[in-house]
Amino acid sequence: MQQVAIVTDSIACLTKELVKQYRIGIVPIRLFFRDKVYRDWVDMSPSEAYELFLQDPDSFRTSPSSPGYYLEAYHEASKQAKNIVCITLSSKLSTGYDMANIAKEQAKSELPETAIEVLDSQTVTAAEGFIALAAARTAADNKQLAEVVKVAEDIRERCTFILLLDTIRYVYRTGRIPKIAARAASLLNIRPILSSCSGLVRFMGAVRSKERSIERILQMLRQKVGQEPVHVAVMHAYVPDEAETLKERILSEFNCAELWITEFSPVMGYATGTGTLGFAFYTD
């Protein structure tokens, strides 16, 4: 039995292969479509969720996980380690961090011999995933709880993401811009570029041409990492061919220490729409 087990949520966009390899517990976020409830990455894949979204975008909603989902994940994780590190999406974007802490308090009576640390990733997408993955890799080396947390905090300081939205039509669902403004901007084919800063998602610019937009985000990556060894996770929302092309560009133009493709969680996709493309990254 290793010293520490890792738990995170489905917004971390970790592939099933990585989850299985490092035995990472995933807390699913709930998806609602018409009169049914689904668990993100459990009851359906992101691609299947986007197919529902495209059928009827207005009937597609999401909801944070309850403490019960986190508590269930803690129970499962306690079977493989006596300590647990739970890494949540940014507390400035969702109640996940609070739910994980409520579950931690409940676990004190149900799992009295298990120590649980809840860490706010201060980000989302595969940037959060990289933090959980670094923690899981450290835990796999049978390191102690304090060292696993330290590694996660270190990657948290260095990891971010850049996302290119194919449309701004659905961004009004975040509550940050009016619906009429989002629809008007979508008619102009404005493609926003987003990144993370201080736990929030920030607008970094906008382009119209798809080709120019790809060049723009690659230029932004180049300015941040240069030729340093870089860990990259390419993300996409229902555009696997475009993601593969972007992956090949990154592989040929950057010094990749790690590079993989994952699907963009539909929990965020309900506000960004299909066609979203981008990457999470950090340098050694």
In this prediction, residue 189 carries a pLDDT of 73
**pLDDT digits 0-9 by tens, 156-195:** 999 999 999 998 777 755 655 545 444 545 555 778 899 9
Q: Where are the domains of the chain?
A: 2-29+64-157, 160-283
Residue-level pLDDT at 206? 85
State residue 205's pLDDT score: 86
Q: CA 97 to CA 267: how far, in whole Å?
A: 16
Instruction: Work out whether strand 81-88 and strand 115-120 pair parallel, antiparallel, or are unpaired.
Output: parallel
**Of residues 20 and 181, more confidently modeled:** 20
The two tokens of residue 228 are 């340093």
> What is the CA 4 to chain-centroid distance, rounded?
22
Class of domain 2-29+64-157: alpha beta
pLDDT at 176: 55
State what percent of residues in the chain have pLDDT above 90.
80
CATH architecture of 160-283: 2-Layer Sandwich (3.30)
**CA 120, 5, 27, 269 torsion-angle sign:** positive
Residue 43, C-beta contacts closer than 8 angstroms, at least 6 positions apart: 28
Distance CA 185, CA 273 (A): 14
pLDDT digits (tens, 9 = 90+) for 88-114: 999 999 999 999 999 999 999 999 999
Residue 263 has pLDDT above 60, yes or no: yes
Task: State residue 270's pLDDT score.
Answer: 85
Rounded to an integer, what distance in angstroms lies between the CA atom of residue 243 and that of residue 23? 26
User: Which segment of 26-30, 84-88, 211-215 scores lowest on mean pLDDT?
Assistant: 211-215
Q: Which residues contact 99 (CB under 8 A, 6 or more apart)?
A: 64, 65, 66, 67, 69, 70
Q: Which tokens go with 113? A: 């011999």
Q: Show the CA angle centred on residue 245, arms to residues 127 and 208, nearest 5°.
A: 80
Q: What pLDDT score was predicted for residue 187? A: 53
Tell me: the pLDDT tens digits for 202-211? 989 888 888 8
Answer whether residue 139 shows pLDDT above 80: yes
What are the tokens at 132?
Answer: 């959980």
Q: C-alpha 139: how far from its chain's center?
A: 20
Q: Half-sphere exposure of residue 136, counting CA atoms within 13 Å on the CB side?
A: 23
